Structure 1
Amino acid sequence: MIEPQQPTLSVVIPALNEADSIEGCLRLLVAQEAIDEVIVVDNGSTDGTPEIVRTFAATNPKVEIIHEARRGIPPARNAGFDKARGDIIARTDADTLVSANWGRVIRDYLDTHPETSAVAGLCTYHDSPIGFLLKFGLWIQHRRGKLGGQIGNLYGPNMALRRTAWEQVREDTQVRIDVAEDLDLALCLSKRGLRIDQVEQMRAQTSARRRRTSPGRWWKFQMIGLRTLADHNFGVTRQARAIVVASWASHTIQWPIYRFWDFDRKRFALRPGVERVSAIG
């Protein structure tokens, strides 16, 4: 009897109350031959997300749903990564739309760069009234030759790593809710000398809905990154603090625009809905 071939690329999606977006995300993933399985980790949804995923999986055998009772991205991500069978484990968010060649770019890059353990791609917005600003910023960075190469961080909606790398750092990762989980994972990899590369061709479009988060809550969210650095005994340098302040200032300048932007209908409204600070609540 011939045993089934080991899946090469698994994709993990932590999800909480994503009924409005999860199917669009899944359709783009299952259409790609380079992607072998998609694991949705439901983190306690109450809006019908699990039912939508199960209905979709009934006609798309690549898709599987599992449940993680502990709330937060770190435990949800870990549950999905542990379940994944692929030699490469990618991660994205339920409100993110990956490019049509996303899976192939990940596989080809890691196949041709054996020294690299993890990769992070670039994201623009698919639902922002001022999304052109981010695209323009990336264009400038491209023209300056600042994109690509070795980096020190990962980006949750658009990242992947080798299974062997995950197995090395699995027990090092933190599962507290007040941790920047992608930075935490990147620091765990870096402390073991495992290389992370930015891949410019690895593209996705994510939601800008986190931009509606109030400046006060956004500042607290940014502080999580500094605490994550401190937790790993990395000195919180002036440069790190300056990056946080600059990020907060940029967010605060844009916030009045997003405050009244309805991301579902893509138009301004007096009651656009609740703010959402991260992919899990």
Structure 2
Amino acid sequence: MNNMAATVLSVVIPALNEATSIERTLDRLVVQDAIDEIIVVDNGSEDGTQKIVLDYAAAHPQVALIEEPQRGIPAARNAGFDKARGDFLARTDADTLVGPDWGEVIRHTLTEHPEIAAVTGITTYHDSPVGFFLKIGYYLQDRRGKLGGQVGNMHGPNMAIRRSAWETVRADTTMRPDVAEDLDLALCLTKRGLRIEQLTDMRAETSARRRRTSPRDWWRFQLTGLRTITDQGYQVRPFHRAVIVGAWLTHTVQWPIYRFWDFDRRRFTLRPGRARVSAVGEHT
């Protein structure tokens, strides 16, 4: 327990135009005693995100705001990780609601298991009309013993890494905005022989608003995964292609539902909503 108390857990949140969601995200984090520091990295917001975070930080000294002018999650993430003082560096998104014991699960795992370099968790949706399908899918995988254990990827809104591991791979990671930054980081860890563990009790709920992306743009987004794999020197295999095709098909089937879903009012509407998805590699 003393060892756990001696460590510092920092959480980094890249943010771009997240005025409508950032406060709820911070509310979930500041009440967790296991979290010592929360750094919001503003990536060029024009909607009042900065003011909201600064006002929030005035009442919560563990929250800080920094700016990163270079657009893209890789640049924002790196700026936050470099600024953070934590022995453990967690990351989530500005539209994500972490579980009430999220910080404790991260801290306990990385403290008690020095062989683990990074952790990632189970992420579902908090604003989806059909999000229960994802929860059912995870439940069935868990029943079959397919969740948890060593993995080769991480999910950006729900992950953490040791500072020592980050310092080992930082120079290997790409700053290009047209790659999947979480997969890129995971591949860098794997190449160095550093272990990533999936934790079934590390829970978070993110926004499903990306599901409004058109099938054509979603396909382009899926291709960033293949680009990330090749850029890190790995060979793209049929399995990788099958995964992105499956992900694209799943998205395409759901897309008509989300077109008529009002994320603010949490109800269906007769007017199709406008997608809130930016260029690949940027925030959404």
TM (normalized to structure 2)? 0.95
CA contact 2:9–2:88 (8 Å) conserved in 1 = yes
1:280 aligns with 2:258: no
For the residue of structure 2 that corresponds to 1:229, the secondary structure is helix
Query: Residues 132-171 of structure 1: matches in 2 within 5 Å?
Result: 132-171=132-171
CA distance in 2, matches of 1:68, 1:139: 38
What corresponds to 1:262 in structure 2?
A: 262
What corresponds to 2:42 in structure 1?
A: 42
State the superposition RMSD in angstroms: 1.2
CA distance in 1, matches of 2:7, 2:26: 18
What corresponds to 1:10 in structure 2?
A: 10
For the residue of structure 2 that corresponds to 1:189, the secondary structure is helix
For the residue of structure 1 that corresponds to 2:27, the secondary structure is helix
For the residue of structure 1 that corresponds to 2:121, the secondary structure is strand
CA distance in 2, matches of 1:6, 1:255: 47
- List 4+ stretches of structure 1 deviating above 3 A: none
How big is the shift at 1:262? Answer: 1.3
What corresponds to 1:228 in structure 2?
A: 228
Unaligned runs of 5+ in 1: none
CA contact 2:259–2:272 (8 Å) conserved in 1 = no
How big is the shift at 1:169? Answer: 0.6
What corresponds to 1:95 in structure 2?
A: 95
1:57 aligned partner, one-letter code: A
CA contact 1:119–1:197 (8 Å) conserved in 2 = yes
How big is the shift at 1:275? Answer: 2.8
How big is the shift at 1:272? Answer: 2.5
- Note the alpha carbon deviations across 1:196-234, whole angstroms, 9 max, x for none: 000000000100001110000000000000010001111
Unaligned runs of 5+ in 2: none
CA distance in 2, matches of 1:189, 1:7: 22
For the residue of structure 2 that corresponds to 1:50, the secondary structure is helix
For the residue of structure 2 that corresponds to 1:258, the secondary structure is helix
1:248 aligned partner, one-letter code: W
TM (normalized to structure 1)? 0.96
- Note the alpha carbon deviations across 1:55-105, whole angstroms, 9 max, x for none: 000010000000000000000000000001000000000000000000000
CA distance in 1, matches of 2:111, 2:177: 34
Count of aligned positions:
277
CA contact 1:95–1:207 (8 Å) conserved in 2 = yes
CA distance in 1, matches of 2:126, 2:206: 6
CA contact 2:209–2:275 (8 Å) conserved in 1 = no
Go from structure 1 to structure 2 and tell me whether the alpha carbon gap of 1:61 and 1:6 turns closer, same or farther (over 3 Å shift).
Answer: farther
CA distance in 1, matches of 2:264, 2:77: 26
For the residue of structure 2 that corresponds to 1:12, the secondary structure is strand
CA contact 1:74–1:181 (8 Å) conserved in 2 = yes
Question: Percent same amino acid at aligned positions?
Answer: 64
CA contact 1:148–1:199 (8 Å) conserved in 2 = yes
2:274 aligned partner, one-letter code: G
Query: Residues 184-223 of structure 1: matches in 2 within 5 Å?
Result: 184-223=184-223
CA distance in 2, matches of 1:104, 1:210: 29
1:280 aligned partner, one-letter code: H
CA distance in 2, matches of 1:66, 1:275: 24
